């Protein structure tokens, strides 16, 4: 609880003009946010764009910030909205590309780079079995899992961030866990790599 | 469908799944992106702490009060001197319609009735005057009116 109060305090300080407070806040949350975005959209370029967009929105609306809830829910609520906008744009682009293919065969459709089959294949080769299973999940289940793993949000907080009921959030996380466990059961658990803390925040806290 | 303790076990944070996930590489944003975001935040912060926070200008308060008073007065004047309160533009009589009845208690006094008929005629509402006169004669068949009003 102390760390969440600390986040809110930092954000309030930044709202009131203390830019150093933002640097501390950024250091705490940049890793989890980046991984959440990267593993949602599965493309480094798109994730970087979204990352910048999320922080830009946070900065632009800092004057309206009030510490009503955990700061992470505030930040990831913005991230959730940005991601949803991204997927909606992506869907429109796919539809436009499909229409272009149907009606104008000579020109190559404008499919974004991250959707090109070769790029997807390259990305898939770089990831582990667990990440491959994670990416195979439906988007909502993947998001619930990532929010819990990367930020430590509870089911109630995940529900708030994703704007669904608690039972829905719980069901999504349950399905995600069940499917990932099944996929893990069929493979040997890697034990060579050391464990990393759940959040970058812990590393920051430890150093301060 | 699901074992009841599967999610609870996972939520405790020490499940094999969580351990496995934490062993995965943990990519972070490239330094250029860090620099970009931090620069944006610092420039916005330096530009004014409460740029996006709506603030009420204290100078506007008396102006808002004066506008409220003006609107209230205008509303009261409109109610008092409005169309309902103003005098009717024409002074033509509004003839009270009384159903024809053989009961003399229910018909209007002949003089008042005739005066109304005369007023109708003066106002150019001849058709209504004739209609009223017809009713008058029905109600007072023996009343002598000389020239019709």
- Taking the C-alpha atoms of residue B133 and residue B149, their distance in angstroms, rounded to an integer, is 8
Residues in B touching A184 (Cβ below 8 Å): 16-17, 20
Which candidate in A13, A17, A154 is best for mutational testing of the B interface (most B CBs within 10 A)?
A17
The verdict on residue B52 lying in a domain is: no
Annotate A16-33 with b (16+ C-beta within 10 A) or e (fewer): ebebebbbbbbbbbbbbb
> What is the pLDDT, as a whole number, of residue B46?
73
> What is the pLDDT, as a whole number, of residue B36?
94
Q: What is the DSSP letter of B60?
A: H
Nearest to B29 among A23, A51, A128 (CB): A51
How far apart are the CA of B65 and the nearest CA of chain A, in angstroms? 27
* pLDDT at residue A21 greater than cutoff 80: yes
Nearest to A14 among B37, B40, B45 (CB): B45
**Better pLDDT: A142 or A98:** A142
> What is the pLDDT, as a whole number, of residue B55?
52
Q: Contact, A134 vs A145, CB < 8 A?
A: yes
Question: Whole domain around residue A59: which residue ranges?
Answer: 2-207
Residue A1 binned pLDDT confidence (cut-offs 50, 70, 90): very low
> What is the pLDDT, as a whole number, of residue A52?
95
Residue A58 binned pLDDT confidence (cut-offs 50, 70, 90): very high
Question: Whole domain around residue B105: which residue ranges?
Answer: 97-142
**Taking CB atoms and an 8 Å limit, are A195 and B16 in contact across chains?**
no
The verdict on residue B22 lying in a domain is: no
* pLDDT at residue A119 greater than cutoff 60: no
**Taking CB atoms and an 8 Å limit, are B45 and A55 in contact across chains?**
no
The rounded mean pLDDT for chain B is: 77
Residue B51 binned pLDDT confidence (cut-offs 50, 70, 90): very low
Residues in B touching A170 (Cβ below 8 Å): 7
- CATH number assigned to the domain comprising residue A28: 1.20.140.160
> What is the pLDDT, as a whole number, of residue B96?
52
Residues in A touching B50 (Cβ below 8 Å): 15-17, 63
The reply to whether A196 touches chain B by the CB within 8 Å rule is yes
Q: Contact, A36 vs A153, CB < 8 A?
A: no
> What is the pLDDT, as a whole number, of residue A128?
81
Q: How many domains does chain B have?
A: 1
> What is the pLDDT, as a whole number, of residue A113?
54
- What is the mean predicted confidence (pLDDT) over A181-198? 65
**Taking CB atoms and an 8 Å limit, are B42 and A38 in contact across chains?**
no
ipTM score here? 0.74
Which candidate in B3, B4, B26 is best for mutational testing of the A interface (most A CBs within 10 A)?
B26
Q: How many domains does chain A have?
A: 1
The reply to whether A55 touches chain B by the CB within 8 Å rule is yes
**Better pLDDT: B82 or A151:** A151
The pTM assigned to this predicted structure is 0.60
pLDDT tens for each residue of B124-139: 888 999 998 888 888 8
pLDDT tens for each residue of B62-114: 888 888 888 888 888 888 877 654 555 555 555 555 445 555 556 678 888 88
**Taking CB atoms and an 8 Å limit, are B21 and A148 in contact across chains?**
no
* pLDDT at residue A125 greater than cutoff 50: no
**Better pLDDT: A100 or B65:** B65
Annotate B61-77 with b (16+ C-beta within 10 A) or e (fewer): eeeeeeeeeeeeeeeee
> What is the pLDDT, as a whole number, of residue B144?
78
**Taking CB atoms and an 8 Å limit, are A34 and B18 in contact across chains?**
no
Annotate A76-109 with b (16+ C-beta within 10 A) or e (fewer): bbbbbbbbeebeeeeeeeeeebeeeeeeeeeeee
The verdict on residue B127 lying in a domain is: yes
Return the number of CB contacts < 8 Å for A and B. Answer: 117
């Amino acid at each position: 609880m102390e760390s969440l109060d600390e986040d809110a305090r930092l954000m309030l300080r930044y709202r009131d003009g203390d830019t150093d407070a933002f640097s501390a806040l950024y250091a705490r949350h940049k890793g989890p946010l980046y991984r959440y975005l990267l593993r949602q959209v599965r493309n480094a370029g798109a994730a970087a764009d979204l990352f910048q967009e999320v922080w830009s929105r946070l900065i632009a609306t800092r004057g309206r910030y009030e510490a009503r809830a955990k700061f992470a829910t505030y930040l990831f609520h913005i991230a959730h909205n940005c991601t949803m906008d991204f997927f909606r744009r992506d869907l429109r682009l796919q539809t436009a590309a499909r229409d272009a293919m149907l009606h104008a065969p000579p020109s190559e459709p404008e499919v974004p780079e991250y959707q090109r089959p070769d790029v997807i294949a390259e990305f898939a080769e770089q990831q582990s079995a667990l990440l491959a299973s994670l990416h195979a999940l439906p988007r909502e289940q993947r998001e619930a899992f990532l929010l819990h793993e990367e930020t430590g949000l509870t089911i109630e907080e995940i529900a708030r961030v994703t704007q669904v009921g608690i039972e829905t959030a719980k069901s999504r996380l349950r399905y995600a866990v069940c499917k990932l466990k099944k996929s893990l059961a069929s493979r040997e658990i890697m034990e060579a790599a050391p464990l990393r803390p759940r959040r970058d925040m812990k590393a920051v806290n430890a150093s301060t | 469908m699901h074992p009841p303790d599967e999610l609870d076990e996972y939520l405790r944070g020490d499940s094999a799944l969580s351990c496995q996930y934490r062993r995965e590489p943990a990519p972070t944003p490239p330094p250029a992106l860090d620099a970009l975001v931090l620069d944006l935040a610092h420039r916005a912060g330096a530009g004014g702490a409460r740029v996006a926070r709506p603030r009420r200008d204290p100078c506007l308060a008396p102006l808002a009060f004066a506008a409220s008073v003006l609107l209230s007065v205008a509303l009261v004047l409109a109610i008092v001197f409005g169309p309902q309160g103003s005098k009717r533009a024409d002074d033509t009589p509004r003839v009270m319609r009384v159903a024809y009845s053989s009961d003399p208690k229910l018909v209007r006094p002949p003089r008042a009735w005739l005066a109304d008929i005369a007023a109708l005629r003066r106002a150019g509402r001849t058709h209504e005057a004739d209609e009223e006169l017809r009713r008058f004669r029905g109600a007072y068949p023996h009343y002598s009116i000389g020239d019709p009003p």
